[in-house]
Amino acid sequence: MSSVTSLSLPYLNRELSWLDFNARVLEEALDERVPLLERLKFMSIFSTNLDEFYMVRVAGLRRKVTAGTKQYAPDPLAPDEQLDAIRTRVRELIARRRRCLKGELFPALARHDICLVSMDSLSEDERDRVNAFFESQVFPVLTPLAVDPGHPFPYISNLSLSLAVDIKDPVTGKDHFARVKVPKSLPRWVPIGRAHCYVPLEEVIGTRLGALFPGMEVVRWYTFRITRYSDLDLGQMDQPEDLLETIEQQVFQRRFGEVVRLEVQKDMPERIRQLLLEELSESETQLVAPLGPQDVHDIDDLLEMGDLMQLAMLDVPELRDPPHVPQVPPAFKDTRNIFDAIREHDVLVHHPYESFSGSVEAFLDAAANDPHVLAIKLTLYRTSGDTAIVRALTDAAEAGKQVAVLIELQARFDEANNITFARTMESFGIHVAYGLPGLKTHAKTVLVVRRDPDGIRRYVHIGTGNYNSKTARLYTDMGLFTCHPELGADLSDLFNSLTGVSRQKFYRRLAVAPVTLRAKMLELIDRETAHARAGKGGRIIAKMNALVDPEIIAALYRASQAGVQVDLVVRGICCLLPGLKGVSDHIRVVSIIGRFLEHSRLSCFANAGNPEYYIGSADWMPRNFDRRVEVLTPIEDVALHKGLDAVLATCLADNRQAWELNADGQYRRREPGPGAETKATQQILIKEPWGTAAARPPKRKKKGSV
């Protein structure tokens, strides 16, 4: 193939590629080199990932099938074909999860006296303890709901664990069905008195159902759980007059989304399955076909395995990863003023290897308390609950500074939190905006305006990750601190477009989606292609979470055909197929899975010996280029390039945490060869956040005001 276009190119299906990513997460639970409780953590993450996949992606495909939507090129599979392939793949993954949990994790945990036990195995004292807990804590919360002509089938909330109870009236001999919800407000794992030994809450309830149905014979009970469509439908609506109120309504309505999956205890009788299927298939929206047997997942024992995270957090240090204490970035150590440090030279930070609190939070705290700071502007996509960032913003507003926050109300599954943050900040006098119509604001930017001795200067932070102290300890991200005049001016223009009315089309240094980012990325790829064709070599290295965009993939294929060496570090979805002769034989794709979630977006373009480096908030997906506000910034201080090179080289050399995508579309885990040194990216960067080649940049001459 001499050339490819975005409509006729080798392209892996997005949904199946995502399932491959989640399979790699599950492999961490199977890997005996991973500490035991960390393996349990990965089992939990795999399960919650799968829940979200059904709530959003599978639900969306079911709607497409009902609407008769056809798949667009270059994806080879129609929506109904995707659903069939997903069912087959998920059955395989659930079977692997079952074998891992029952055959490996639970027996291994039991050898360390960490166990889940049944009520039947308890001693008399242990049973008395659990029964006392049921009487005092559980029984008052339970609500038995019968299903008969006088009692309609109850509403069942998304992802809630329930008991389907088979009851017989000993007087009439009549069978009855009832549902009992397992309350999320109570601990899932009930302690029995032995350290780290628990009974699942559903079993505690199941063995005491007689207390809920006195005078009746409880024949048997079975667990089940449903998954509902949980995305927002703003795209189907006219432009709302009040976005905050509309999002609140949508979040409420999401509770009643159509059911897209039914998980049941494997030995549940057919008549109870059919009852559940019939009742749960009724939908007021009529947007999807009724549930069928193909939408029922048989689960051996435990349902709702996301709760295994509670066990994974047990304080048993020998079964956990060694504690990691992030380093304070050298530029911000023992500095009397963080603004002085940024004026001396640009600063790159690398989380969680370098401290979020000692950099980003310190920057905002300094801005809030510095009498010379006049204004703070920030984009907020996801943040944590009791956050130092929100406190710093409210402190700044109370101190009389101008504070403006663009808060994204449509951050999936964080909508309710962001509504609360928005109202809290407004109550402190912060100017809160909700972004541009039809676009999510996904950019990670802070702009601080300060009156320095030599004039007004703008200090900025541009990052790859959210302003969230919790995820900053778990996700790998990068951020740039600078007072470069043109970057400051660009961010001023961006914030003006977000909070005001503007059709900003020009940016000096930043690439901004949806205005210039796609064109910039294609320009950079095409420039490498031209260099290769001219005999000047060509090299692209890029790290991201997902690669989906057909136009970008076609450009990378053309670059490969011209001889450009392309290395991609893609954690999750990758629709590009590397290693195809004559198409992508110069492209290599690796995915790194480890204790931290790889989240940073970083790219390097060799540019015939004058390399350019960029970090930003966008993955290479259509939504990031076309339907979101994203920011990509160049890293222009050449002294910082050495560290970026070292990070990329470390990722590409990984033979412990890396999986390589092959031309057959399959991922294979890299292993060190006989006698070879083990190279695990995250373990290396914990010791040296920028790799062994990193060096502190020299001081830069002060720049004038803007």
CA–CA dist 137, 188 (Å, integer): 12
CA–CA dist 282, 286 (Å, integer): 8
Q: Where are the beta strands (DSSP E) in 415-534?
A: 431-433, 440-441, 445-452, 455-463, 475-482, 511-513
| SS3 assignment, position 508 | coil
Q: Taking the chain, what is the end-to-end CA distance rounded to the nearest angstrom? A: 52
Quick one: the chain helix, strand, coil %, rounded to 5? 40, 20, 40
Surface-to-core class of residue 651, CB atoms within 10 Å of its CB (0-12 exposed, 13-18 middle, 19+ buried): buried
Q: Check if the beta carbon of residue 431 is closer than 8 Å to that of residue 495.
A: no
Surface-to-core class of residue 98, CB atoms within 10 Å of its CB (0-12 exposed, 13-18 middle, 19+ buried): middle
How does DSSP classify residue 586? T
Scanning the structure block, which residue is given the tokens 């890396």?
A: 658
Catalytic status, residue 442: yes
Active-site hit among 442, 484, 599, 641: 442
Tokens of residue 360, six digits: 């980003």
Q: Check if the beta carbon of residue 553 is closer than 8 Å to that of residue 9.
A: yes
Q: Check if the beta carbon of residue 182 is closer than 8 Å to that of residue 162.
A: yes
Q: Where are the beta strands (DSSP E) in 558-644?
A: 565-570, 587-592, 597-598, 602-605, 612-616, 628-634
Q: Which residues pair with 565 in a beta bridge?
A: 539
Which residues are CB-contacts of 468 (< 8 A; sequence separation ≥ 6)? 382, 383, 384, 387
Q: What's the gap between Cα 332 and its chain centre?
A: 29
Q: Where are the beta strands (DSSP E) in 46-195?
A: 115-116, 144-147, 161-168, 175-181, 189-191
Phi, psi of 690 (to 5 degrees): -120, 20
Q: What's the gap between Cα 599 and its chain centre?
A: 9
Q: Which residues pair with 564 in a beta bridge?
A: none
Catalytic annotation, residues: 442
